Amino acid sequence: MNLPVCFQKPFHPAGSCPVAASLSDFCRFPLIFSALVFPAIVCLVSFLPPLFPVSAHAAPGPVQVTDAAGRTLILEKPATRIVVVGSAPFIPLHMLYMFEEARDRLTGFEVRVQTTDAFLDLIDPDLSLKKTVNANPGPESVAALAPDLVISKSTTEGQMARSLAYLGIPVMYVGAETPDMFLADIRNMGTVLGNEKRADTIVRFYEDRLAVMLKAVSQIPEQSRPRVLVLEYSNRGNKQALNVPAPGWIQTRQAVLSGGNPVWTAGIPVRDGWQITGFEQIAAWDPDKIFLIVWYQLTGPAVLKTLYQDPKWAKLTAVKKKELHLFPQDIFGWDSASPRWILGALWMAKKTYPKKFETLDMSRTVMEFFTLLYGLDRETIAGHLMPDVN
């Protein structure tokens, strides 16, 4: 007889040491064990497979991955009830939906904004039927969805994973902050879904386009590369705020991949996230080209017009040469660690070296991206996902 999950040996990430349950264990996890009935609820849920149909595409047999946090996970079989939670849940969700299995196997996800994900609505008409949990859920809320795998974005193990491990629920982390990390995440998703062939197709799409950029810019000496600046612009509290990305973040990697020479990376202290800067520092850098990421509550073209008309900004080389470029976005921006980062890098390459990439048709590339990776038709792409790429 197969015992329910709460009576089986708990899942423990590789390298951890299982310990016997004790009073100190209960004290460390008050949210989970505050009521003695909670483990019984998890047990009961595991006895109700008819309520949770399993995808027929799941291949039998154990699967093993090493996730973005360096943890080795072993699942008895490909995951069929997946829950996505944690920081920027739209990133792992958009990665997951590159696989056809996502529609059937995504059980629930964390909602961090009040609006729905209009992009996923285009892909999955039944998205509204999925279970959701509010922002920053406790492990008991996640466990109540009876997942056999939780996916979260991080490169370090958090308390959620440790808490869920006591219930036998594994967590797989995705990093997505560098191209190599992103491609490894895709391969891991293919493995836990039992569809490594699809993962190979997705990875090949990215690698082919990365190779195009590398071939075009690899022979250009660093001193001959345009000095570029990726700049986030916002006005939270009606006060202008300017930020630059950490050296290891995807926005910086996009600048490097596209053949630019990032001006901001040498002297900033942050290794993760965004560093606040100011106009005086931007003037000191005086980049040849500025790639502007505008806060989502602002109108990009209006910000661009304001900066071109600002007497201070008019003194910058990039502004004088009309090289102030607004990062494209469809429903989501091309500057994030979501799957769109490849579109952002290609667009930056075309703006950085117009002659070298004159045959690169970004409108066609957008069509290929959403057709091949998400199965959307041309009409949907043209009507909802085609930004201004000029």
Q: What is the pLDDT of residue 125?
A: 92
242 and 145 in a common domain: no
Domain assignment present for 201: no
pTM above 0.95, yes or no: no
Q: What is the pLDDT of residue 84?
A: 98
Give the Cα separation of 208 and 131 in Å (integer).
37
My answer on whether 222 and 188 are in the same domain is: no
170 and 234 assigned to the same domain: no
Is 71 a domain residue? yes
- Domain of residue 74: give its range: 5-194
pLDDT at 115: 63
Q: Are residues 123 and 14 in the same domain?
A: yes
Using the CB atoms, write b or e for 134-164: b if 16+ within 10 Å.
eeebebbbbbbbbbbbbbbbbeebeebbbbb
Are residues 33 and 117 both part of a single domain?
Answer: yes
Are residues 368 and 247 part of one domain?
Answer: yes
* Confidence at residue 239, expressed as pLDDT on a 0 to 100 scale: 77
The DSSP bridge partners found for residue 150 are 83, 171
Residue 140 lies in a domain: yes
Same-domain pairing of 247 and 131? no
Shared-domain flag, residues 170 and 228: no
Token pair belonging to 300: 């990009």
Predicted local confidence at residue 390, as pLDDT: 81
* 363/370 Cα distance (integer angstroms): 11
Q: Could you tell me the two tokens for 195?
A: 């569809």
Structural domain count of the chain: 2
Please indicate, yes or no, if residue 303 is contained in any of the structural domains: yes
* pLDDT the model gives residue 9: 36
Residue 38 lies in a domain: yes
Under DSSP, the state recorded for 151 is: E
pLDDT at 60: 66
Query: What is the 3-state composition of the chain as percent helix, strand, coil, each rounded to the nearest 5?
Result: 40, 15, 45
Residue-level pLDDT at 12: 41
- The CATH number assigned to the domain holding 105 equals 3.40.50.1980
CB 167 within 8 A of CB 42: yes
Domain boundary among the residues 194, 209, 229 is at 194
Q: Are 64 and 73 in contact (CB under 8 A)?
A: yes
Which of 161, 194, 227 delimits the end of a domain? 194
Q: Is residue 203 part of a domain?
A: no
If residue 152 lies in a helix (H) or strand (E), which one and from where to where?
strand 149-153
Residue 204 included in any domain: no
Low-confidence ranges of the chain (pLDDT < 50): 1-59
Pair 167, 310 in one domain:
no
Clarify whether residues 24 and 157 are in a common domain: yes
Of 160, 194, 228, the one marking the end of a domain is 194
- Tell me, yes or no, whether 189 and 251 share the same domain: no
Q: Does residue 90 sit in the same domain as residue 15? A: yes
- Largest Cα span, the chain: 77
pLDDT number for residue 23: 33
Whether residue 277 is contained in a domain is answered as yes
Q: What's the pLDDT tens digit per position in 35-87?
A: 444 444 444 444 444 333 444 444 467 999 999 999 999 999 999 999 999 99
CA distance 180 to 269: 23
pLDDT at position 237? 67
